[in-house]
Every structure is written in C-alpha cells, then in structure tokens.
Structure 1
Amino acid sequence: MINVAILLSTYNGDQFLKQQINSILEQSYTNWDLYIRDDSSSDNTVKIIEEYSIRYHNIHFIKDSYRKGACKSFLYLLENINSDYYMFCDQDDIWLPEKIQMSVKKIQQAEAANSNIPILVHTDLKVVDQELTEIYPSFWKYSKLKQQFLSKFNYLGVCNGVTGCTVIINNKAKEVSLPLKKEVPMHDYWIALKVAQMGKIIYINTPTILYRQHSKNEVGAKKTNNAYFILQLKKIKKTINNQLQMYQFLKEIEYGSLLKFYWYKITYTIIRNI
C-alpha cells in the first residue's frame, strides 16, 4: 500500500492538538506516518507530541530546537522526510474520516493520466467555529474562490486558492518546490505556484476538513463579499503596496510584467463576483 507522510508543524497548539491527531488516527486509510515538528512552543504542546509518539509507532516527533516560523517549518519537514506522497496538517482542525483515502485515490488517477509531472491535489473545507459548529458548508463559496481559474498559474498568482491543510503532493511536486531559495509568503502558496508553473493542480469539490476558526488562527477564513471589497478600496494605499510586494515575489519566479499581473488581478476580481 502507498505510504503517505503527514507533515504537521506545531506552535502553542495544546488546546486543539489532541483532537486533530485523533482525527488522523480515525482515518479510513491506514498506511500513513505523521511527522510532527514543534516550533519552540511554551505550552504543553511538546508533552502531547511525546505522549502520542510513544503510544503510536507511526507518529514521529522531529526534534529541532530552532524557531523557523510556520512556512519554513513545514518546508523543513518536506525536505527531510521521504515518502510516496505528502500531506500538510495544521494543529487545530479536524480531518474527516475519508480525507486521506479520497486524496490518494485522486492523485493516483491524476498520475495515471499525467505521468512524470508535479501534481498537487487539494479539497474544499467546511468552515466551523471554535466548538466545531458549522459557520459555512464550503470555504470556497464562503471566500468566493473559483477553482476552475485558480488551478492556472496566471490566476493563482493573483489569488492563492490552495489551502495547505487540504493538500497532497507527489515527489515530483516536492522536487520543484525545494530547495527554498527565497523568502516566500507561505508554504502552500509557494508549492502551489511551482506545481501550477511546471505540473498540474487538481481540486476536489468535497470538503475533507472541519476548518476551525478561532482567535489564534495563523491565516483563517475570511468571508469575501461586497463589504470586503469596499474595505480594500478604503485602504487602497495599503492594498496597492501589498500587491506590489506580491508582484516582486512573483517576478522572481518569472510570472511576467506588472501589466500582466494587474490584468489578471482585475479580471479575477470581476470573475469572483459574477
């Protein structure tokens, strides 16, 4: 059976970490290994990891004392773990029971149709609150993410539609994502861009995660509606500066001209609101 490496970076996550690990233990697909790297937590996170790594042979505590931040921590795990496929895991969500099985099946189908190229598969999420009460049944609809466009490099460059905790990638995708030679906004965005540029992104409309929203979210879900766009216009100077910073990053990976960037930015904004 194909082995899946689940990569989990933790930081002060003791409040929800046990629930997340338990949801992985309850997966229908069983041939996985969970690799956990802690990013210098000051709460009981390390104690929880140690307890699970002692109890379960396929849960591994990757000890590294340096603080890296979430992006570099996840990419450190990706670089130092070898497997058939790789999935990324946040410390505060709940994985639905068929998540791994569904993802493995989809990426194997994609590889059969597209041999020897980088492939990334990702899924929708169900947005829930701290107590797991549903806020919205589809994160993609909640945030107006049009995945038929965001699977393409040019559109993905102006809007990251890939949520790392839903991702599975193959070894070709790992190869094009490493080594990391520059500062990047986030590991999922970086990997998605490299795969879109050199391989294929495939999406599954079904939610596979309860995407928990709470006060300590690193990123989180933001409802995208008319009020959101009006707010962006009100702080237009900051918005433009952020976009120019993003363009400089994209320019380094040969995205194209600033005119092209704004053309796709405006086009996708219109598409997003149709």
Structure 2
Amino acid sequence: MGLGPVVNAAAIEVVLPTYNGAAYLEAQLASISAQTLRPERVLLRDDGSSDGTQALIGQLHQRYGAWLQVLPADGNLGCTANVNRLLQATTAPYVALADQDDLWLPHKLESSLALMQQLEASRGSTTPLLVHGDLELVDAAGERLGCRYLQRQRLDPQRTDPVDLALTNVVTGCTALLNRALLQKALPIPPEALMHDWWLALVASAFGEIALVEEPGVLYRQHGSNVLGAQGLGLPYWRQRLQALLADPAAGGHTRAALQQAELFEQRYGLPISALPSLLHLRRRRRWWALVRLPAEQLPWKHGPLRTLGLYGLVAWLPR
C-alpha cells in the first residue's frame, strides 16, 4: 500500500479516553495527527485525572484547535462508560478507538480503512463491521521489544465466532476501527459489560464480521500503569490469575463476569452465544455432567489447553 502525503479523512473520527495519562498523551496525540490518513477530529474526554492530564489537555486543545474536541469532564465514569460517552458523541461513518499511552504508526488508519472498505464492498455498509490489528510491544520509552501482542499472549485472531469470543476476547480496542452500522447496533454499551472492546467484538461477530490487519499499526507501550498490558503466559500471568481468584473466589478471576456478559448479550439481542451461563445456575455436582453433554459445537475451548482446563475447573467450582 502506497503511503502518500498526509491527507484529511472526513470519514474518520478517533475517540481517546484519558485518565492519569500525562506522561504519554502528547506523544500519542502527535502520532494520530501524523497519520497518512489524518482523521477529521479526535474526541477526548478525561475521567477525573489527578496527575496533570487535564492541564495538558488544555494546552493540547490550544495547539490543535477544533481538531481536538474535548468533552466535559463531569466526574469519574470508569473506562467502559467513558468510552461509551465518547462513542455516542461521534457522527462519522467510521470511528477508531485509541489509548492514551500508545503510539500509532503512520499507516495505521489508512490500512484499517482500506480493509474496512473491502468488507463493506462485499457485505454492505449496513452490516456491523470491525477491523482490528496486532500490536508491536515497546517499553515505557517507546523502544521495540521484538515481539507482537497476539504472539506473546498466544491468541488466535481467527477465532472470532461468538462462542469463542464469549470466553476470550481477541480484539484489542486500541487497534479497532468500527463502522457506523456496528455503533448503531452496539450502543449504548451496557454498564455491566466486562470491557467496551469485548462488547463491540461480540456484536460485530454475531451480526456482521471481524477482520484482521496483518501488519501492526500500534506500538503498545508496556509500563507500570498499564491497565492490562501483555504479560504472556509465564509465571506472572498465572500468579495474577491465582491472586485474583483468591481475592474474590466468587468471581473466579473474570470468568463469572465474562459469562454474565454473554448472558447480558442474550438478554439484549435474544441471541444465545454461550451455553455456560446457564450452567452456573445448576448445583455444582450437576455441572460436569451438563458440561460433557453439550453438543460438540457448544463445548467451550479457550486458547490453549491450560486455559481450557482452568475454565472447566472454574465453571464446575464457582458458587451459584
């Protein structure tokens, strides 16, 4: 794909939620502004920062003018509700999600829009569509670490069937480009949704299509304040899972929340995407029997045998 001179893209808006991101926000916004396909505008809302982010936003707003639209910072909503507020304020045919601490490579939006337009040519613009990509990991200073996110996390991005997505999200929100049809179908994002990108991926999978841009368009910064980060599947990953389980045994890490999200999806759209939520309503001793009797296409398989075994154990063990 040829990357010509910087052009304006009136068809694209970017939403950028912030919270205590003063250390990296300026560089991220500069990388968005430098896109080969420059978005029409960036919508930003701060969620009650206490580290100087709000003062920095004021300076950046003066620098970028109307291109940077700052929504009122009326209290702390939380990550998902903040993104929901931003998405509901958009009007463009396509909307990209951004995180405050990443860096976008210059071709990111151009590559995503090219694939989105291919999908719409075959599926139609009224079909909910989501384009996402892999990420290249960098350290806090922006130096490349020599690996990509999907490889590090051992995730298969082709597993986008709703049954699979109900258990494991393979879409990283900060890489995603959404079409208007997806937003019309998915919004408002329920407050109970586990993560905004997970909910958007479920809706796109169930009612449209998800597609992957092969080459990374985002430098995914790893630092101490990351909400999620890319831990891989080594000892720190399993230690964190165990600590979360011990801290709140009834939640089962985030397993119960993921199953409740699937149940919420069925309640809103009348479309069951997982048989597992109903199992939690059974007595523990009946769950294994119910699990092994599921049809093969409904059997839950996570990404890798250890994750799958852990899921089966949690489903059998969690209290009702």
Q: Give the structure-2-normalised TM-score.
A: 0.78
1:163 to 158, 172, 177: 172
1:122 to 132, 136, 157: 132
Equivalent residues of 1:146, 1:272 under 8 A apart: no
Equivalent residues of 2:140, 2:223 under 8 A apart: yes
Identity %: 30
Shift of 1:68: 0.4
Taking the aligned partners of 1:79 and 1:108, their CA distance within structure 2 comes to 22
Aligned-partner residue type, residue 44 of structure 1: G
Equivalent residues of 2:45, 2:71 under 8 A apart: yes
3-state secondary structure, aligned to 1:147: coil
Q: Counterpart of 1:252?
A: 264
Taking the aligned partners of 1:127 and 1:16, their CA distance within structure 2 comes to 15
Shift of 1:27: 0.9
Shift of 1:252: 2.4
Q: Counterpart of 1:12?
A: 20
Confirm whether residue 98 of structure 1 aligns to residue 113 of structure 2.
Answer: no
Equivalent residues of 2:132, 2:176 under 8 A apart: yes
Confirm whether residue 243 of structure 1 aligns to residue 255 of structure 2.
Answer: yes
Aligned CA distance change for structure 1 residues 87 and 64 (closer, same or farther; 3 Å): same
Deviations 1:46-72 (A, max 9, x none): 222222222223111111312101111
Taking the aligned partners of 1:121 and 1:112, their CA distance within structure 2 comes to 14
Aligned-partner residue type, residue 99 of structure 2: D
Aligned CA distance change for structure 1 residues 175 and 140 (closer, same or farther; 3 Å): same
Aligned CA distance change for structure 1 residues 44 and 244 (closer, same or farther; 3 Å): closer
Shift of 1:228: 4.6
Q: Counterpart of 2:48?
A: 40
Aligned-partner residue type, residue 138 of structure 1: R
Which structure has the higher relative contact order (CA within 8 Å, separation 6+)?
1
Taking the aligned partners of 1:241 and 1:14, their CA distance within structure 2 comes to 30
Aligned-partner residue type, residue 255 of structure 1: I
Please give the residue correspondences for 1:174-189 in structure 2 after superposition, counting only pairs within 5 Å.
Answer: 174-189=183-198
Q: Counterpart of 1:72?
A: 81
3-state secondary structure, aligned to 2:127: coil
1:133 to 119, 131, 143: 143
- Structure number with greater Rg is 2
**Aligned residue pairs: how many?**
271
Shift of 1:234: 9.6
Aligned-partner residue type, residue 167 of structure 1: A
1:222 to 228, 231, 234: 231
Equivalent residues of 1:177, 1:190 under 8 A apart: yes
Aligned-partner residue type, residue 93 of structure 1: D
Equivalent residues of 2:244, 2:253 under 8 A apart: no
| Structure 1 residue ranges without an equivalent (≥5) | none
